[in-house]
Chains A and B, each alone.
Chain A
Amino acid sequence: MRPPPNSSSFKREFLKKWLLALQLCNHNNNINKNDVVKRKNTIKLSAEIAMASVRNGATCWSRALIAKHSSSFHVTTKPRHMPPPPPRHYKKRVRCKKIIKRSRRCCHNRSAAAAVVRRKTAVLRKLVPGGELMDDEASLIRETLDYVMSLRAQVDVMRRLARASDCVAMCNIV
C-alpha cells in the first residue's frame, strides 16, 4: 500500500530508499571523497529516484523520473511495477494535438485570457515530469498536486538531515 505524499510513512519510506540509492550510486561510481560536485549530484540524483520510487509507479511523474534515471545506475532487482512503455501512437498524438492547436489558434473566439491559461499550463507541463505526455488538464493538475506534495516531503527530510548534520559537526568542533 503506497503512503500518501504528505504522511510520515512517506518520509520514512523516502529516507530508507534514499539511503539505499546513495549506497547503490556510491557502489557503482566509486566516488572520490574529495569530489564535492560529484557528491552533490549523487545526493540529488538518489533523492530524486527515492522520491519517485516511493510512489511505486502510481503516478505518471514518478514513472517519468524513474525512466529518466534508469540508465544512471544498474539496479539488480527489477521494480515491482515496471514503468509502462511510451504509447506507440505518441508521435501521431503529438502531431494531431499540434494540428488541433493550430486550428484552435485560428479560431477568433478564443479570448486572450484563455491563451494565457494555455501558456501557463504549457509551462507547468514542462516542470512536472511526464507532464507533456498527459492528455487532459485534470490529470496534469492531479499529477502536479501529487508531485508538489512529494517534493515538499523530500525537502523536509533533506532539511532535517542537514540540520542534524550541522549539529553533529558543531558538536565535533566543541
Chain B
Amino acid sequence: MSSRRPASRATSSTMSEDEIITDLVLKLQALLPHLNPRQQPSRAQASKVLKETCSYIRKLEKEVDDLSGRLSQLLGTIDPNNQDFDLDSIRSLLQI
C-alpha cells in the first residue's frame, strides 16, 4: 500500500471500475492477517481501506436501487408469469 502512487487516488474517477475493484480487493485482502503475517498494514491504511469499502458498498446498493427504479418503468408491460418468458433467449440477449 505504501508503494502505491498518491496520483492513483487523484485519478480514481478515471480508473475503470475493474481497476477500482481490483484495487479494493487487494487492499481488503491485505487486511486479512493470515495473508500478511509479516507485513501488517498500518492502522491508518486499514482505516482508509475500511472507509473506501463502506463507500463502495453504499454506492453499489444505491445503484441497485436506481436500476430497480429504471427497470420498474421499462418492464411495466412485461408479465414474468407469461409462459413465453424464455430464460435462454433473455440470457443470450444480455450476453451472460
Contact = CB atoms under 8 A, between A and B. Distances in A.
Interface of A: 8, 11-12, 15-16, 19, 22-23, 26-27, 33, 36-37, 39-44, 47-48, 111, 113-114, 116-117, 120-121, 123-124, 127-128, 137-138, 141-142, 144-145, 147-149, 151-152, 154-155, 157-162, 164-166, 169
B80 interface: yes
> B-side binding surface: helix, strand, loop or mixed?
helix
A109 to B, nearest CB: 14
A44 B64 contact: yes
Contact of B76 (A36, A111, A154): A36
B91 A12 contact: yes
Contact of A141 (B32, B54, B76): B32
22 contacts: A15-B87, A19-B80, A26-B81, A33-B77, A40-B68, A40-B71, A41-B68, A44-B64, A44-B68, A48-B64, A113-B43, A113-B47, A117-B47, A120-B47, A123-B50, A138-B34, A141-B31, A148-B56, A157-B96, A160-B95, A161-B71, A169-B74
Given A23-B80, A165-B74, A160 B96 contact: yes
B37 to A, nearest CB: 12
Interface string B44-75: 10110011011011101101110111111111
Contacts of B21: 148, 152
Contacts of B70: 162
A121 B54 CA distance: 9
A47 B65 CA distance: 10
A123 B70 CA distance: 29
Interface residues of B, number: 48
Interface string B23-39: 01100110111100000
B52 to A, nearest CB: 10
Given A36-B73, A162-B67, A165-B74, A127 B94 contact: no
